[in-house]
Amino acid sequence: MLSKKTKYGLKALTYIARSEGDSPIQVAVIAKSEQIPQKFLESILLTLRKSGILGSKKGKHGGYYLREEPSEIKMTDVMRVLEGPIAMVPCVSLNYYEKCDDCPNEHKCSVNKLMLQVRDSTLKVFRNTTLADLSNTNE
Amino acid sequence: MLSKKTKYGLKALTYIARSEGDSPIQVAVIAKSEQIPQKFLESILLTLRKSGILGSKKGKHGGYYLREEPSEIKMTDVMRVLEGPIAMVPCVSLNYYEKCDDCPNEHKCSVNKLMLQVRDSTLKVFRNTTLADLSNTNE
DNA sequence: ATTATTCCTATCGATTTAGTAGGAAAGACA
DNA sequence: TGTCTTTCCTACTAAATCGATAGGAATAAT
């Protein structure tokens, strides 16, 4: 299951991408429009900022803005920040690889074999999708 | 993340498929060979039996066996039993569809759009993979 | 100063995960 | 019949994760 955190994060990013003016968007505005608990959203946007996807401005007229064009923001990056590793099992993870304690031979492991395929196909989707694709209303 | 339950379940099914003799395989044997806590494995195999993937025989010389040929057992079915819905979000689930409370228009929802693609690509993998593929050591 | 906003830390209740415990029920075999 | 073996079932538990909430510090605009 997708966590609420990721769901809210994606919706917020989409909202910001669609609002593309010059001024930053405030958490309260997004929270209200997308029906997301504001305090929760605050912490999510903070994570996105720390990861470099969002920028922020404090104080009056502050808020969050995208650091790159929506078409440059790949879902691989967004998903890794929000949801963690894309692989369902550490032994097939590109960025967080870890050997299984039990598994004596990874290449003979049925779970490894299957999950490798799943990872590859999911990765293909995330690599080919940008925030611009998500924000595009028509389609 | 893949649950241990699913991981163990897949390993056990693979073990049984590879052992294809005429006599059922006992939980204790699988547990020892695959390093799975026996009581936990018991409950997993029970689930698989209730779902119709495995058959069982009680008492001495009892154990579990496959109800169909490994090449007939599709990962879509196995994964749904062990891990639950394949979709990461109920609003794109084929078997467990549910509308989001918040989402006024599903077709304009960025999360929906993305997760639909992920579901389709994952589904393609599971539909094209059978237990026979997993048990095949060479490849 | 005042007000608006992000930033940070801590806490909390509910749910899920990964088991464990104990024994009932059924079947094999002597 | 009695014993042993195996699945079957229910209930419990410790730990982790999730989805928040609370309260206020820091910063910026006016």
pLDDT digits (tens, 9 = 90+) for B35-73: 999 999 999 999 999 999 999 999 999 999 999 999 999
**Are B11 and A111 a contacting pair at CB < 8 A?**
yes
* Mean pLDDT across chain A: 95
Closest CA to A45 of A8, A88, A91, A96: A8
Closest CA to A114 of A85, A80, A83, A91: A91
Confidence of residue B121 (pLDDT cuts 50, 70, 90): very high
Burial class (CB in 10 A: 0-12, 13-18, 19+), A127: exposed
Q: B34 CB near a chain A CB, below 8 Å?
A: yes
Q: B110 CB near a chain A CB, below 8 Å?
A: yes
Tokens read off for B63? 């154990």
| pLDDT, mean of residues B118-132 | 98
Statement: residue A3 has pLDDT above 70: yes
Statement: residue A79 has pLDDT above 70: yes
pLDDT of residue B138: 62
Give the nucleotide with minimal C1' distance to the Cα of A7. Answer: D19
- Packing angle, helices B110-127 and B75-83, rounded to 10: 120
Tens-place pLDDT, residues A102-139: 888 888 899 999 999 999 999 999 999 999 999 987 65
pTM comes to: 0.95
| pLDDT, mean of residues B82-106 | 92
Statement: residue A94 has pLDDT above 80: yes
Tokens read off for B14? 């693979």
Residues A82, A77: Cα–Cα separation, whole Å: 9
Residues A117, A120: Cα–Cα separation, whole Å: 5
CA of A72 to C1' of C14 (A): 38
**Are A7 and B75 a contacting pair at CB < 8 A?**
no
* Mean pLDDT across chain B: 95
Burial class (CB in 10 A: 0-12, 13-18, 19+), B129: buried
Tens-place pLDDT, residues A23-60: 999 999 999 999 999 999 999 999 999 999 999 999 99
Q: A125 CB near a chain B CB, below 8 Å?
A: yes
**Are A111 and B2 a contacting pair at CB < 8 A?**
yes
Residues B10, A102: Cα–Cα separation, whole Å: 14
Statement: residue B116 has pLDDT above 80: yes
Residues B113, B99: Cα–Cα separation, whole Å: 14
Q: Which residue is nearest to nucleotide C17 (CA to C1')?
A: B3
